Structure 1
């Protein structure tokens, strides 16, 4: 059975609309497309997110991810532009959003700053404002805090030692396999870059993706973790650890947007592995939420199609990866 046919029969108007546009190339003038657009804007799901967005006008971190969720579900209403302006109103002069989220309390040091800029910026870019001069200012801030190897630390790089390495290494559970920086922060920055029409194919984005692809583990239990958060089945939590879950579906999404070729060995092996997990009807089953199989399949199908336009190949050899050591249980 054709995968698009299965997705077009899903109860979610958001999934039907996106499948028709992204997999079938349907025009915005199509009668079904117009009908589904109306359903999306009037859905209880979108209404709940808009209510949360209105209440988060003084919290750029929370508002940023709500914008990501709304964009993922296909919302295109005027509330996004108003929310983006609220986020910009709290931007620091240097281009960042460096203050702690409301309710978090004071934080000693500056180890949280990178992610506090990443999440609002990703929401702004997802809403379609990536090229706004204020957003470009935030992108430049991220480039300025990049480490010498092209990865990103959990916080600013002001604590670099004489050899260009951070004097305090990133925690082992979120450390890059072949990099100085933080995997969570690097994933977040790359996610921002992939939503920019020019920066997505830049050398900066490619180096960031190269760092992420260096970890070649096959964690089936976390497939579609980002999808489950965007659709609302899992809460978007964490500060430094916001993107610490290693999600192969999200990794393929980022790699495909950055122009990686399907002939890249790491991407080729990753695709081969994901293909072994397809169900009998061509759908992928979400490991935790079976009702998300349609969303997971849409994400993977669009990523696989984007790979056809990829043109660059990394040349890194496989890296040995040892899971971080767990401490002894006290009880």
Structure 2
């Protein structure tokens, strides 16, 4: 019995025949070319031919000399470093879709720009002004870990900061929210210290766990193992804080992963806790299986991306989860 036996339709065939070279490359290396029943892992050797596709070439052409990308929209909050936010978005495309690593000069320049935002404490500041942000710190170092920077001392310092910034229950939360503050507090110059006695946020914890999953050493830590179980217990529930206050937020999807949803959470959990199952993870798998189309692709509330091929990437992400967590 293999992970495909629990699905009504073959999801691999449409990925291989999609005509999208990057999706096809990942599917061949992670799904189609592996023995039946053997769960996939992120390919260790990137397909550097993907770096020369039109989309990543277009992204790299827009990179500034300092390694950043310029935010294209309005900048309503003076305290927010919008170029760092845009750099995070573009690095996500390059790493998660096209397999960029530290060997690519554009990615190396972006890493230098990102890590220049590290505070003396170890977190990355700017997107939330001078307020600490476990979610953006983790999101950025998670991408850098995938790109080969996991042993960089600056990345290790950021992980150490994440370890020290957990809530007492073992998850993570946005410090200003634990003090009952609204987002206008992002404009305050003084850093707001969080209350670690307050409950964890599954939005923040899910994003942090993606970083741990991307780092071979950190994913085995006791803190990551515990937080993965905490996150799974929150599936289909509203967050403890207002940023993801609807249960329906669990079924709004994007790729590269941005917020915390069922697929991004299962992806991290299945790497950190191989073989882990619970009633809620089974319910999540059943929900995804029920949203498979006769074409073999998966669907749901897909948040539009600029490349208009989100269903292919979403379906690839779902296949990775199913292969690691067979029924």
1:251 Cα deviation after fit: 1.6
The 2-side partners of 1:51 and 1:117 are apart by: 26
The 1-side partners of 2:276 and 2:287 are apart by: 13
**Aligned: 1:72 with 2:72:** no
1:97 Cα deviation after fit: 1.5
- 1:14-93 equivalences in 2 (<5 Å): 14-25=22-33, 37-38=48-49, 40-54=50-64, 57=67, 59-76=83-100, 77-93=104-120
**Aligned: 1:299 with 2:317:** yes
CA contact (8 A) 2:291 2:300 kept: no
**Aligned: 1:278 with 2:306:** no
1:300 Cα deviation after fit: 0.9
Larger relative contact order (CA 8 Å, sep ≥ 6): 2
Distance 1:87 1:51, change over 3 A: same
Task: Give CA-to-partner distance per residue, 1:13-32, whole Å, 9 cap, x none.
Answer: 11011111111237xxxxxx
Task: Give CA-to-partner distance per residue, 1:241-291, whole Å, 9 cap, x none.
Answer: xx3xx5211121121111242542221222122212222243212434684
1:222 Cα deviation after fit: 6.0
Q: Which residue of 1 aligns with 2:200?
A: 181
The 2-side partners of 1:153 and 1:63 are apart by: 23
CA contact (8 A) 2:172 2:201 kept: yes
SS in 1 for 2:123: coil
Distance 1:262 1:97, change over 3 A: closer
Q: Which residue of 2 aligns with 1:140?
A: 160
Q: TM-score, normalised by structure 2?
A: 0.69
Task: Give CA-to-partner distance per residue, 1:141-195, whole Å, 9 cap, x none.
Answer: 11111111111121289xxxxxxxx5x2588xxxxxxx71233221221111110
- 1:1-331 equivalences in 2 (<5 Å): 2-25=10-33, 37-38=48-49, 40-54=50-64, 57=67, 59-76=83-100, 77-98=104-125, 100-101=126-127, 110=131, 112-155=132-175, 168-169=179-180, 180-217=199-236, 223=251, 225-227=253-255, 229=256, 243=259, 246-288=260-302, 291-307=309-325
Q: TM-score, normalised by structure 1?
A: 0.68
Across the two proteins, how many residue pairs are aligned to each other?
Answer: 264
CA contact (8 A) 1:65 1:119 kept: no
The 2-side partners of 1:78 and 1:24 are apart by: 31
SS in 1 for 2:94: helix
**5+ residue gaps, structure 2:** 1-8, 35-44, 69-82, 183-197, 238-246
Task: Give CA-to-partner distance per residue, 1:53-103, whole Å, 9 cap, x none.
Answer: 4367365443234222211112433321222123223322322212x23xx
CA contact (8 A) 1:53 1:66 kept: no
**5+ residue gaps, structure 1:** 27-33, 158-165, 172-178, 231-235, 237-242, 311-331
SS in 1 for 2:59: helix
Distance 1:11 1:222, change over 3 A: farther
Question: RMSD of the alignment, in Å?
Answer: 3.3
Distance 1:188 1:287, change over 3 A: closer
